[in-house]
Amino acid sequence: MLAGRWRVEAPNASTDSFFIGRTYYRPMPDRHGPTAALGVGGGLAACVAAGFGYAALTGPIGAVRTIHVWVGTAWTALVLAYGFVLAPLLRERDTAAAYPIVARLAPTTLVLLPTLTVVTLAAGVTMALAYGIVWPMTTLVRAVFGVAVAIAGIALLGVLPADVLTYRELRSADPDPERVVSLGVRTATLLTVQGALQVTMLFLMLRVAAMTG
C-alpha cells in the first residue's frame, strides 16, 4: 500500500514529512493540484476583468470608480497579507512546512494578482483622464504616476515571473521543494515592497481626492 502512494527516501532527506517504522516517506507530487488552483485564480481574475470591461465600455464613470475602489481594496489587502504576514511565516518555517503553503498559493495568484494589478491601475488612469487631473502635471500627479509605475514594475516584472517559475516547478515530474520555497520567499519579499508602495499610493490618492474636491 505504501509503495503505491509514497516514495521511499533516505532517512536524512531534508524535505520528508512522515516517518513510519524507521523509514521516511515523502508524498508523491500532486501535479493536478497546481492546475486546479490556477483554475480558481483564473476564474476570479476573469470575473474581475469582465466587470471592468463592462464598466469601462458601457457604464458611467461612477461604475469605473466602484471597480477601482473595490478591486483596489481587495488587491491591496491580498498583497499586504502576502507580504507582511506570509513572508515572515515562510522565512521562519523549514522547507517541509513551507512547501505546502507555496504550492497552494502560487498557482492561485499566478493569474489573479496581475489581473488585479492591471484592472486597478487601468481604472485609475481612466478616472484620471475623465476627471481631467492629468494636466497640468503637478508634483502630486507625478508622484502618483511614479509610484504606479513602480508598483506595476514589481508586479509584472518581478512577482509574475517568480510565480510562473514556481508553477512550472510544481508541474514538473519531480518538483524540488527547496526551489519552490525559495521562489515563494522571493515572491513574498517582492510583495512586501509592493505593499509598502501601495500604502504610499493610498495616501497620495487621498490627497488627490482632496484636491479635486
Higher pLDDT, 13 or 74: 74
Of 77-81, 93-97, 194-198, the poorest mean pLDDT is in: 93-97
Q: Smallest Cα–Cα separation from 112: which of 149, 82, 142? A: 82
Is residue 33 within 8 A of residue 103, CB to CB? The reply is yes
Residue 32: which pLDDT band, with cuts at 50, 70 and 90? Answer: low
Residue 16: which pLDDT band, with cuts at 50, 70 and 90? Answer: very low
Please name the amino acid found at residue 13. Answer: A
Which of the given ranges, 17-31, 49-63, 144-158, has the highest pLDDT on average? 144-158
Q: What is the pLDDT of residue 31?
A: 52
Mean pLDDT of 160-173: 92
Is residue 134 within 8 A of residue 93, CB to CB? The reply is no
Residue 158 has pLDDT above 90, yes or no: yes
pLDDT digits (tens, 9 = 90+) for 93-125: 888 889 999 998 999 999 999 999 999 999 988
Positive or negative, the Cα torsion across 180, 182, 185, 186?
Answer: negative
Q: What nine digits make up the cell of 118?
A: 492591471
